[in-house]
Amino acid sequence: MSSTLHYHPDAARKLISDDAWNGLESALLKARQEVFDDVQLLDSGSPVPAEKQPLDSGFIELPARLLAEYNENPAGSLIGRIEEVADKLRKDIDRLVLLGIGGSYMGARALFESLRDPYHNELTRDERVGIPRIYFEGNNLDSDSVSSLLQLLRHRCHDPRDVLHRWGICVISKSGGTLETAVAFRVFRDALELFYGPESDESRYLVVPITGESGKLRELCRTRGYPEQQTFPIPDGVGGRFSVFTAVGLFPAAMLGLNVPALLRGAVDMTERFRTEGYGNNPVLDYTAVCHLLERDHGMNMRVLATWGKRLESLGLWYDQLLAESLGKSERGATPLTVVNTRDLHSRGQQHQEGARDKVITNVIAGAPIAPPVPLPIAPAELDQDDLNRYHGRNYADFLSAALQGTNQAYAEVNRPTADIVVPRLDEYAMGQLLQMFMLATVLEGRLIGINPYGQPGVEAYKKNMATILGADV
């Protein structure tokens, strides 16, 4: 496909000796084999050794399995069911409140911001071709934010019979026990039932839960009578931050009118490249090697993901969680940081140029803009005080490209390592590749350095303390 991802580490490789690069190959290929051995172990149902627990490698082959199921039985497959429910709901509501935190919403938000109009929620329903406005909540304990969204719904939604006033909820939580999402669900469920009536059909079928096969949310779904056919599972063997290719990410993608099979094909193709392509020509192996060697040999333990343009900022924030929770263990693990250029060249650029030499900068570059590039207008000579007429014939894409080249050159001149991830066109296939590449690289690096990339035991400490504090205050 024309949007095939390419990884160009040439600038970063200048700081890596040939001996170091070649010397890592054996360990890296061994780690790759362990990644796929983990898949077989999980699939076998055999006991998982203590040092491998938890083992959440199910995400690796999941896209291929979902596509195979869809191709064999489109209507009866999970993708078919997701698309059927999403198509029905899109016609029935104009606003969707998506409740989730961490991996339960960050992948969906990355897809929304990268592949839909930046001002999607400001467009009319016709301009949105029937795709609902989408709001993300349940990801923080911010009373003002929740209050503002509730007020918006009350002020804009008056007639439950008018599609322009109708809204629904998608709640995502594997266990149902995460406080931020659980509290938000109760609050917005109460508002939904007040709007449609507590015993109305709408109060049930306009809620789409995505959850585990057991747990608090699953039990609530049964008690409240939410339709089973539109309660989607989060499978065992897939951790939250690796769940973007489950219903967690696929249902919101379908609600947004995205091409779900193309998204999965991108992930499948990236997995196959990881499995088969050699060192030096393999985006997952090469990205992992560059980051690891610069950290190991040069102390560069800050991973800066520089997205060129605003659309991919949420992809970077999704990756922040992925890297931090997966490898930030045993007093190890690089620190992720997302920047948006050229915006952040005017805030963090100075530090990256002349600050501590602890940063690896990976540029994520989406080739051609989705819309035709905005040209620079010519001004009369007497109004050329900004001296921009000299750029006659240039457009925004030209300016961004020049800024990227100039920044890479400036960093190279002072031996600051950069690498480029390039997708010629930002679409569902490209996003599938990007998301899977980062997940595979994170797991690969964990196996390479002897850290279990699955699970997040450190996150549980604050939750336990918070529950104790709240209990004491009640």
In the set 14, 91, 310, 463, the catalytic residue is 463
Contact of 156 with 125, CB cutoff 8 Å: no
Residue 127: CB partners within 8 Å, gap ≥ 6? none
Longest dimension (CA), the chain: 78
Q: Which helix (H) or strand (E) holds 412?
A: helix 396-413
- Return phi, psi of residue 426, to 5°: -85, 110
Contact of 312 with 114, CB cutoff 8 Å: yes
Torsion of CA 266, 272, 276, 277, to 10 degrees: 10
Residue 466: CB partners within 8 Å, gap ≥ 6? 179
Q: Which residue(s) pair with 95 in the sheet?
A: 133, 167
Whether 463 is catalytic: yes
CA–CA separation, 343 and 290 (whole Å): 26
In the set 346, 382, 413, 464, the catalytic residue is 346
Amino acid at site 465: N
Cα–Cα distances in angstroms (integers) from residue 200 to residues 106, 168, 193, 225, 231, in the given order: 31, 13, 8, 11, 18
Question: Where do we find the tokens 């990268």?
Answer: 114
In the set 83, 113, 180, 325, the catalytic residue is 325
Upper half-sphere CA count for residue 138 (Cβ side, 13 Å)? 31
Peptide bond into 246 cis (omega under 30): no
Which residues are known to be catalytic?
325, 346, 463
